A = this chain, B = another copy of it.
Amino acid sequence: MLTIVVDMMGADKGMEPLKEGVKRFLQDKSFDDAHLVLVGNTEELKEFDSEERIKKVNATDILPMEAGALDAMRMKSSSMNIAVDTAVSNHYDAVVSAGSTGGFISLATIKMKMIEGIERAALVSPFPSKIGKQVTVLDIGANNENTAYQIFQFAQMGALYSKLVMGVEKPKIYLLSNGVEEKKGSPEIKEAHQLIKESGLEGFQGNIEGRDALRGEADVIVTGGYAGNIFLKTSEGMAVIMSELIKEAFRRNTISKIGYLFAHTGFDKMKEKMDYKSFGGAMLLGINGVAVKAHGSSDAYSFYCALKVAYRMSKEKIVDKIKEAVNALKNQSEDGKENERL
C-alpha cells in the first residue's frame, strides 16, 4: 500500500477536472494498492465519501498562481501548504499539486528537505518526441543558475528517472549545448561534460543541439534550469504556433475545409503525439520525497497521468535510488582520495 496526498485546489480550471482525474485513477486496476488523501474544500469533495481508499483534509484557501517562495511559506492555510505538511508529517509517499509551480517547488524543497549530498533539486518533465517516445528533460526551471557539479548531478538523477519511471532499460543521455563537440557550450556545460565523462555514467552520449533534442534519439536531456526552461517553452511555443497555423491552413477556404475532412485522422494522431499536456506535469528530483507538479491547466486525463507518475515514482523508490547513487559517488571519490594518499 502507498499513499499519495493530492492538493485539489489552485488549478486553472478549478476542481472539476482534478476530481475526474482522481476517479479515473481510482478505477485503474494497476493502482489498486494506492490510497489518496484529498486536500481541499471538503464540501466539494462529498462524492468521494463512500470511497474506502480516500481520506479528506479540509482546506479552503488557494495559493495564488503568481505566489513566490515567501508567499507560499507565509500562507499556512493554503491547500498546497497543508498538502505538503500532511505528506511530510505522516511520512506519506507522494504529494501532487496543480497549483503555483514556484510555490510548490519552494514548499516541497523546504519541507521535504534535500537529499543529503544533492546540491540542487531539478524539475524534470517528459517531452514528446517526433517518433512518439517520451524524452526526459531536466532541469526545466527549478533553478536560475547551476554549477557544473549540479548539472552533473542532474545527469545522474535523470538517468535513474528514465530507467525507473519511464522504463527505459539503457537510457541514452545527452547534455544540451550549442554544438555537438565536447568543447562546445557555456563554461558550466563544458565542465559538466568532463565530470559526467569521468564518472563513467552509463549511456552518456555527449552533447546534443536543440535542433535534434526532440527527434527521439535521446532518452534524457540534461541542462541547467535557465537554458532548460527556454528549451521547454520554445519547443512548446513552437508546437502551439505550428498547430495554430495548421488550423488556419485548413480553414482557408471551402476547398481546404474539404481537405480537412479527408485528412483529419492523421492530424488528430499528430496532435496527440505532440501534446504537451498529456505528460502529467513535472517532477521535483533531489528532494526527500516524491513531489509531482501537475499542469496548472490540467484536464482529467493529464491529472490522472500526474497521479500515475507519483505512484510510479513511489513504487520504484526513486528517492532511495538517488540516495544510493549519491553515496556510491561519495565512496568513489573517497576511495580516490584514499588512493591519492597511498
Contacts and interface: CB of A to CB of B under 8 A. Distances in A.
Interface of A: 130, 141, 144-145, 176, 178, 184-187, 189-190, 209-215, 225-227, 229-246, 248-250, 252, 255-256, 258-267, 269-270, 273-274
Contacts of A178: 141, 144, 225-226, 229-230, 233
Contact of A237 (B141, B214, B229, B274): B214
Nearest to A244: B130
Contacts of A237: 209-215, 235
Contacts of A141: 178
15 contacts: A130-B241, A144-B186, A144-B187, A145-B187, A178-B225, A211-B233, A215-B241, A242-B242, A250-B266, A252-B263, A255-B265, A256-B265, A256-B266, A259-B261, A259-B262
B233 A242 contact: no
A214 B238 contact: yes
B252 A266 contact: yes
A12 to B, nearest CB: 15
Nearest to A261: B259
A209 B238 CA distance: 12
A76 to B, nearest CB: 24
A336 B193 CA distance: 44
A264 to B, nearest CB: 8
Given A144-B187, A178-B229, A210-B232, A246 B246 contact: yes
Given A226-B178, A230-B231, A144 B185 contact: yes
A15 B63 CA distance: 62
Contacts of A258: 262-263
Contacts of A244: 130
A233 to B, nearest CB: 4
Top-4 shortest CB links A-B: A259-B263, A259-B262, A249-B266, A210-B234
A133 to B, nearest CB: 13
A236 B178 CA distance: 13
Q: Which of A210, A243, A265 has the most CB of B within 10 A?
A: A210
B249 A269 contact: yes
A209 B233 contact: yes
Contacts of A245: 130, 270, 273-274
A241 B266 contact: no
Contacts of A235: 210, 234-235, 237-238
